[in-house]
Structure 1
Amino acid sequence: MMRIDINCDMGESFGAYHLGNDLEILDYVTSINVACGFHAGDPMIMARTVRQAIEKNVKIGAHPGYPDLQGFGRRNMDFSPEEIYNMIIYQVGALQAFVGIEKGKLHHVKPHGALYNQSANDREKAGAVIDAMFDLNPDYILYCLSGSLMAQMAKEKGLTVYEEAFSDRNYNEDGTLVTRSQKQALIESEEGMLQHVRGIISSNEVMTIQKKLIKINAQTLCIHGDGPHALHFARRISELNKI
């Protein structure tokens, strides 16, 4: 029996560029976050990813990001709340259409990259994302950083929230992710990843880079589909989640 939702970012290829092992990873996750064309993805990739997920009975979420193909949506950008609201509507609306054509159901929305991190504890940016989701469909679940202001605001708005932990990212003492510009940002060894994930699943705890054990509330666990060990890590985490 699964103990925690396992999600993975997918559909991040575009045009002639192929990224990730999407079809294989679908066997080991329970939900996916599909790139909607701004940071990655394109109409062909979106359609194919949605179809494959429905065939595998995997829950589908939208993964909207900043319009930043060159930086893969991971560069901080300065947009107004209105601009963020409209880019969420635009991207999630596109994925809604593909899911609807395949007679599926959109399950959740998870902001990507810099949008995810910048909106986690910024009231205006968080509010823009939350309002867009609520206006699109108040039944959509928001996937966001565990313990964040965004999680609190979304619950107050009436949205269902899955607070998220990361299988391959290190944490600071305040519960934030170590920024990718630091060497310690990623957990790259299988042993380290399994120890980290075991703590999240069994005890709701993570060891920070400051060597302090902190509590973390998580209903979903993320695997980054573009990582070099993504498929292998997904398989091992799925095994661990069934124990």
Structure 2
Amino acid sequence: MFEIKDIPKLFLAFFIILPIISLIHESGHVFFARILGAKNIQIVVGTGKTITRKWFFEIRKYYFWYGFCYFDNIDESQRWRNILIYLGGSIFNIIAAFLMVYLVNTEWLEQGIFSYQFVYFSLYYVFFAFFPMKYPDGNFSDGKILLDLLKNNYSLINQKKYRLAWEKEQHLWKLYDNQKQEIKNFETLEEGLKKSVETAKRNRPSRLEIIKEKGLDEVKSFPRNPL
């Protein structure tokens, strides 16, 4: 039964152990992405406002909640590369859990609440990573993407393409989709860029091209985030 004396254990789990496990999980995705040639890698721990950014790590205000990573240069059509990358987070969690058990069994570490919670929440993380589901924010679990990839279904990782272009005759900026169908139009570049980036981010993985009068000016990529 939960008692007042158990409150410190609760804080230990949610504010220290879970962020560590989240970092290990994202490091697994990034490890395999890196050895398979990914570029522009970044690990994000937490949500909310960015507190600090160092090398390819970013820690946000609510560091104990959520985590994801970014990287470019992995083609969505490379099935087995993507399978390995999406497996990577859980592989690292499982290895970390077994390593903790080994260190306790060989008495390198003393058995206690930290080791128990570390193993428990590592396997908890793996279960929900593999569970095939769609999250409320529109992202998908690793398991859902892996299941689709094993079925040769690339719809969840296929890159959507958007184009924000200046239409001189109408004096408007227009956002187009893959089929060159107009989505929205804007009077200023600032407004068009803001709304276009929001659209592209909401529909990851995506690529946004900004076309000015002299042609292609900039490309922004928003890859699917392994979570």
Normalising by the smaller structure, the TM-score range is under 0.3
Structure with the higher strand share, 1 or 2: 2
TM-score, structure 2 length as denominator?
Answer: 0.27
* TM-score, normalised with respect to structure 1: 0.25
Q: Which of the pair has the greater relative contact order for Cα pairs under 8 Å at 6+ separation? A: 1
Larger radius of gyration: 2
Name the one with the larger helix percent.
Answer: 2
